[in-house]
């Protein structure tokens, strides 16, 4: 497997798209003729209200948002937000970088809750119990983002990440929910753990970051691949190569907003209304009509998250 594709990002402890804070939001793109979903977004990390985000997205044909949880508090917020708003569904999980912070503490001082003392395995189990309870809710349609991230977590944290990942796989299978994977510089181990545990019926590789060979493996196993704005980056040819070979019935589109704003707006804040920019770039890579790709990804997202 190739190394993580250039421009890949994470939902926890990551760089904010090259310093997007304080820069003007990109203009709305031309609306899509066929409505689609943003299969992975973080409204709790974006400016403005949820209502505004929904309205702006809907105005360009992005009519469904999947709000993704990254820790216990964020997962509760996602579930509550989905319960209050038509057009939003939730996922719940501990981001891979969250598990080592719970077990080992937070020596770098990063987290939305601030630095914390080590909690050990018991604290991780307690947090995962909360995720398990949230996954039972009808408006929580996925378990994620979970997986492995070797970019920010050192060797001391890998065991906690893998333990958490395995538990998330079990939660997804027991509740019949999609498993949303975060995979950064850990392709082989993510695939290995899925194979060892037995993957849930639906697996989504969020912000797909592998190469074309990995895309073929995912296709053989029926794993969905969700592409974000970094597929438009000049240095992301490996992502475009992967997209080119990925089957149409396994494709999703996402923003991962406020991160990974697509070109030509890289460095400015991302939001669900920019999905059409990425989708049109994907259609060009696939050699498909925009409407045909939109119809496919809309159907794929609805099937994956059972809404």
Write the DSSP string, 1-24. -PPPPTT---SSS---TTT-TTSP
Label residue 153 by pLDDT band (50, 70, 90). confident
d(CA 167, CA 111): 22
pLDDT digits (tens, 9 = 90+) for 204-216: 999 999 999 999 9
Which candidate, 52, 45, 47, 129, places its Cα nearest to that of 92?
Answer: 129
Highest mean pLDDT among 17-26, 146-155, 220-229: 220-229
pLDDT tens digits for range 180-210: 999 999 999 999 999 999 999 999 999 999 9
DSSP output for 212-271 = HHHHHHHHHHT-EEEE-GGGGSTT-HHHHHHHHHS-GGGEEE---TTS-PPTTSTTS---
Pick the CATH number of 37-305 from 3.90.180.10, 3.40.640.10, 3.20.20.140, 3.40.50.720: 3.20.20.140
Portion of the chain with pLDDT greater than 90, in percent: 84
Confidence class for position 152, pLDDT limits 50, 70, 90? confident
Residue 40 has pLDDT above 90, yes or no: yes
**φ, ψ for residue 117, nearest 5 deg:** -80, 155
């Amino acid at each position: 497997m190739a190394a993580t594709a250039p421009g890949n990002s994470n939902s926890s402890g990551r760089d904010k798209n090259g310093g997007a804070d304080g820069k003007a939001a990109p203009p709305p793109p031309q609306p899509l003729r066929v409505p689609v979903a943003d299969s992975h977004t973080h409204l709790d990390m974006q400016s403005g209200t949820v209502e505004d985000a929904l309205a702006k997205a809907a105005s360009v044909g992005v009519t469904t948002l999947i709000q993704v949880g990254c820790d216990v508090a964020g997962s509760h917020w996602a579930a509550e937000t989905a319960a209050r708003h038509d057009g939003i569904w939730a996922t719940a999980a501990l981001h891979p970088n969250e598990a080592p912070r719970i077990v080992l503490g937070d020596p770098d001082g990063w987290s939305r809750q601030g630095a914390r003392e080590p909690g050990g395995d018991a604290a991780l189990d307690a947090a995962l119990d909360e995720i398990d309870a949230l996954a039972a809710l009808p408006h929580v349609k996925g378990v994620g983002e979970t997986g492995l991230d070797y970019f920010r977590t050192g060797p001391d944290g890998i065991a906690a990440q893998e333990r958490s990942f395995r538990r998330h796989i079990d939660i997804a299978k027991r509740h019949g929910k999609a498993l949303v994977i975060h995979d950064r510089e850990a392709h082989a181990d993510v695939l290995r753990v899925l194979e060892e545990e037995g993957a849930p019926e639906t697996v989504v590789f969020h912000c797909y970051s592998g190469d074309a060979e990995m895309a073929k493996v995912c296709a053989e196993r029926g794993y969905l691949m969700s592409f974000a704005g970094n597929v438009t980056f000049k240095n992301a040819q490996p992502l475009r190569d992967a997209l080119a070979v990925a089957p149409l019935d396994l494709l999703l589109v996402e923003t991962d907003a406020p991160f990974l704003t697509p070109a030509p707006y890289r460095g400015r804040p991302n939001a669900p209304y920019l999905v059409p920019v990425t989708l049109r770039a994907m259609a060009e890579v696939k050699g498909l009509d925009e409407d045909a790709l939109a119809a496919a990804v809309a159907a794929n997202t609805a099937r994956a998250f059972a809404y």
